[in-house]
Structure 1
């Protein structure tokens, strides 16, 4: 969701600059939107910390307990790392932004027309159409979900992967105008993620090969063999970044690497929350040069991977220093 919202905002900014007659690099704006993805796994929808906080997951079975989000996503050190990373990324993009914009990098007229177009209208010819166009239907279902969530938290329930999904569903139902708008948005979203849907089986096959062949274990164990309690988090970060090229799914990656990292952490006495977030940091880090998740954004913008790769590579370098430095610092703080 963050990628698409960022892409839409980038389009709006590009259109506003074009409307004022001020040139701005559209590929740079789209790269900036994608660069916001560098903090996704540190945030509320991060697969690894959510799975670690979910009862009956392999993490809770391995440790005998769950890892609460207050120890991972909402820990002081992770929140500080988010702020630092965002500042570094913003400064990086500011420094490398082109001062003179070639004509081919200005937003296309078709993008301007599409962005400024009138919102889709849905006629109400029949009673069924009136129901579908009524806001009360989606709002009603949204309030039902909200009621469930309030009851869940009031009774002492925790935030898990399922609960986060329910929260996003409630927000969607409350924000759309009616059922027809919801269906239209789903259809448009499906067309934007079509490339990802086609490639997921391929990457699932690669993940299966890497797991069955023991390659993931070899990569992880080699990096862990040179680790100390202070540096295990850093090497976990690097190994997660390497594996992400072949398994670009946060949920799939923790399933593959998680048991290995947790076992190593138990042997060295490292807090498992550090290793969960090290995996999350590494997964999001190499997304900057792994174009898999950029595909829907590029489709939305009508660009190619090479149009944004130069910008995202710079972000990859500076964010790598920031994220790696953060996880290394935490390793030393927790070990001391």
Structure 2
């Protein structure tokens, strides 16, 4: 009895802490766009204090504002293609089968946590939709599951390992010469994916973080008797995220091609020729840049949806999730322009060099990236801001620039646990609010932060410095 009482008190303390943090976040955290806009103003003020005139700052901002348009579209397509693949009928059937495996509330939460992280390694956009549908299907079969714990588990991939996987914005950008801003390219050149995500060091981080996260999800999830279920919260998963069944065939002659698989199959056949040709010439790793990654997912989506009408309906449903990317990434490009032309980049390089050694720099860079992520919640956009001075400092200290990309990837995911920006697609599928997930997400963050920082520091010792590759 005494042991049960202690466990109840501990669980109550963790729950109260989670609720308090969630309520504080909901009350005080503004929209992610506000963070980006404030960052522009702060950087402009700093540039002004460094001697840049208002006219020069405005010109720097406006001149570079559209520099990231190709990258912005590439990031938007990661969301679109991820949604399209996850919402297809074959994948939905697979999810329904998987949902039959967990039998207990705690097991269900851990199960969702694992698949959230595993799918995020393929695509963070795919992971959010896949996890949302999986949660909906499990909730039909397993009674007494806490909807907050399971929702937070569904978001876990975005707060842990997504940036260590195939849709890593920073790693893909650095492997794609056309996406790298010229000023950054002069520092780093291109960095192959074989030096970043396809290394044993990166695999080590993935395995450790998945094991840790699933364990936390399992032990922290309340049992059936203490859970707050979706039904208790008035959430009806039965009406959320269902496939469109309203119309399955053409009703007019002009609609025939919309409901026929012919065009989709022809497009996939043509696209497959390109993919096979690129892989045969460069190899699978070198072929994996942002454009080819999105192209392959797009072809898979066309095939899985079978008809143009199904495909177009899925694309239309995905569009609301890309608004933040479209409006915020140009702001990051503007920040980059002010940063580079004001000389602030050089000052930041000098600062990092003054407080870092070859041994300590990966740890310091990780702490910095995690903190900045609270204010700039964007893996790719934030990397554009950080990369110039982090990579320049790494070069000066003879630290592997490829590993600094991975330090950034592992660290910048941490603040996603408390910042609702990347939760939006999942929240839309589940019909919940960010505050519902924040308590359990923050609990994961408390464990993740020290583990990630220690890993990036220890593994850095095994990564040799490689000179930049240009051309």
TM-score (norm: length of structure 1): 0.88
- Return the match for 2:411 from 268, 282, 285: 282
Deviation of the 1:72 alpha carbon:
0.4
Deviation of the 1:178 alpha carbon:
0.7
Are residues 1:304 and 2:433 paired? yes
- Return the match for 1:43 from 165, 190, 201: 165
C-alpha distance in 1 between matches for 2:299 and 2:263:
13
Deviation of the 1:128 alpha carbon:
3.0
C-alpha distance in 1 between matches for 2:170 and 2:459:
18
Are residues 1:227 and 2:353 paired? no
| Residue of structure 2 equivalent to 1:126 | 252
C-alpha distance in 1 between matches for 2:268 and 2:356:
48
| Residue of structure 1 equivalent to 2:186 | 61
- Return the match for 1:154 from 280, 284, 288: 280
Deviation of the 1:215 alpha carbon:
11
Q: Deviations over 1:121-150 (max 9, x none)?
A: 333123332211112221221221121011
- Return the match for 2:319 from 184, 187, 190: 190
User: Could you say if the C-alpha distance between residues 216 and 145 of structure 1 is closer, same or farther in structure 2, counting changes exceeding 3 Å?
Assistant: farther
| Residue of structure 1 equivalent to 2:366 | 237
- Return the match for 1:145 from 271, 275, 278: 271
Deviation of the 1:317 alpha carbon:
1.8
**Which sections of structure 1, spanning at least 5 residues, go unmatched?**
none
Aligned length: 328
| Contact 2:349–2:392 (8 Å) recurs in 1 | no
- Return the match for 2:153 from 9, 23, 32: 32
| Contact 1:216–1:256 (8 Å) recurs in 2 | no
| Contact 1:206–1:246 (8 Å) recurs in 2 | no
| Contact 1:24–1:106 (8 Å) recurs in 2 | no
- Return the match for 2:396 from 262, 267, 290: 267
User: Could you say if the C-alpha distance between residues 115 and 16 of structure 1 is closer, same or farther in structure 2, counting changes exceeding 3 Å?
Assistant: farther
- Return the match for 1:318 from 429, 441, 447: 447
**Which sections of structure 2, spanning at least 5 residues, go unmatched?**
1-124, 466-471
Deviation of the 1:205 alpha carbon:
4.1
Deviation of the 1:47 alpha carbon:
0.9
- Higher mean C-alpha deviation, range 141-150 or range 212-221: 212-221
C-alpha RMSD of matched pairs (Å): 2.7
Q: Deviations over 1:201-223 (max 9, x none)?
A: 36754774687377985777645
C-alpha distance in 2 between matches for 1:42 and 1:101:
32
* 4+ residue runs over 6 A deviation: 213-216
| Residue of structure 1 equivalent to 2:197 | 73
